[in-house]
Amino acid sequence: MSHFAYQNGELHAEGVPLSRIAAAVGTPVYVYSETALTDAYRRFAGALADAGLDARVCYAMKANSNLAVVRALAACGAGADVVSGGELTRALAAGVDPAEIVFSGVGKTADEMRQAIAAGIGQFNVESIPELDRLSEVAAESSATVNVAVRVNPDVDADTHHKISTGRHHDKFGIEIDRAREVYAHAAALSGITPNAVAVHIGSQLTDLSPFRAAFIRVAALVHDLRADGHEITKLDLGGGLGIEYGHQSPPDPRDYAAIVADTVGDLGCILVFEPGRYLAGPAGVLLTEIIYIKDAETRSFAIVDAAMNDLVRPAMYDAHHEILPVREPGTDDHTHSYDIVGPVCETGDTFATQRDLPALTAGELVVIRDAGAYGAVMASGYNSRPLIAEVLVRGDSYSVVRVRQDIATMLAQESLADWQSE
Ligand code: LLP
CATH fold of 4-32+282-413? Lyase, Ornithine Decarboxylase; Chain A, domain 1 (2.40.37)
Task: Using the atom order of ligand 1, give the atom closest to the CA of residue 275.
Answer: 9
Which residue lies with its CA nearest to atom 22 of ligand 1?
A: 204
Active site residues: 346
Is the distance from CB of 51 to CB of 321 less than 8 angstroms? no
Query: Which residue intervals of the chain bear CATH 3.20.20.10?
Result: 34-280
Question: Which residues, 6 or more positions from 376, have their beta carbon under 8 angstroms from its beta carbon?
Answer: 30, 64, 285, 287, 311, 312, 314
- Any ligand 1 atom below 6 A from CB of 165: no
Question: Which residues, 6 or more positions from 177, have their beta carbon under 8 angstroms from its beta carbon?
Answer: 152, 153, 154, 155, 218, 219, 222
Check residue 82 and give its pLDDT: 98
- Taking domain 34-280, whether its CATH number is 3.30.70.20 is answered by no
Is the distance from CB of 193 to CB of 236 less than 8 angstroms? no
Check residue 259 and give its pLDDT: 98
Is the distance from CB of 399 to CB of 3 less than 8 angstroms? no
- Any ligand 1 atom below 6 A from CB of 373: no
Which residue lies with its CA nearest to atom 6 of ligand 1?
A: 240
Is the distance from CB of 196 to CB of 234 less than 8 angstroms? yes
Q: What is the DSSP string of 287-313?
A: EEEEEEEEEE-SS-EEEEES--TTT--
Q: Is 283 exposed, middle or buried (0-12, 13-18, 19+ CB in 10 A)?
A: buried
Is the distance from CB of 34 to CB of 4 less than 8 angstroms? no
- Any ligand 1 atom below 6 A from CB of 164: yes
- Any ligand 1 atom below 6 A from CB of 104: yes
200 C-alpha to ligand 1 centroid (Å): 12
Is the distance from CB of 53 to CB of 262 less than 8 angstroms? yes
Query: Which residue intervals of the chain bear CATH 2.40.37.10?
Result: 4-32+282-413
CA 299, 303, 308, 312 torsion-angle sign = negative
- Any ligand 1 atom below 6 A from CB of 241: yes
Check residue 163 and give its pLDDT: 77
- Any ligand 1 atom below 6 A from CB of 304: no
Q: What is the DSSP letter of 179?
A: G
Helices (H) and strands (E) in the chain, counts: 12, 21
205 C-alpha to ligand 1 centroid (Å): 8
The best mutation among 278, 279, 312 to test binding of ligand 1, ranked by most ligand atoms within 8 Å of the C-beta, falls on: 278
276 C-alpha to ligand 1 centroid (Å): 8
The best mutation among 41, 56, 62, 208 to test binding of ligand 1, ranked by most ligand atoms within 8 Å of the C-beta, falls on: 62
Check residue 158 and give its pLDDT: 81
- Any ligand 1 atom below 6 A from CB of 64: no
- Any ligand 1 atom below 6 A from CB of 103: no
Residues of the chain with pLDDT below 50 are none
Question: Which residues, 6 or more positions from 348, have their beta carbon under 8 angstroms from its beta carbon?
Answer: none
Is the distance from CB of 270 to CB of 232 less than 8 angstroms? no
Q: What is the DSSP string of 108-150?
A: --HHHHHHHHHHT-SEEEE-SHHHHHHHHHHHHHTT--EEEEE
Q: Is 94 exposed, middle or buried (0-12, 13-18, 19+ CB in 10 A)?
A: buried
Per-residue pLDDT tens for 136-179?
Answer: 999 999 999 999 999 999 999 887 788 777 777 777 888 999 99
Which residue lies with its CA nearest to atom 8 of ligand 1?
A: 240
C-alpha 31/C-alpha 286 separation (Å) is 5
User: What is this structure's pTM?
Assistant: 0.97
Residue 11 bridge partners (DSSP): 6
Closest of 305, 195, 297, 212 to residue 251, by C-alpha: 212
Check residue 167 and give its pLDDT: 73
Within 270-401, where are the H helices? Answer: 278-281, 314-318
Cα 135 to Cα 124, 175, 196, distances in angstroms: 9, 16, 15
C-alpha 84/C-alpha 109 separation (Å) is 9
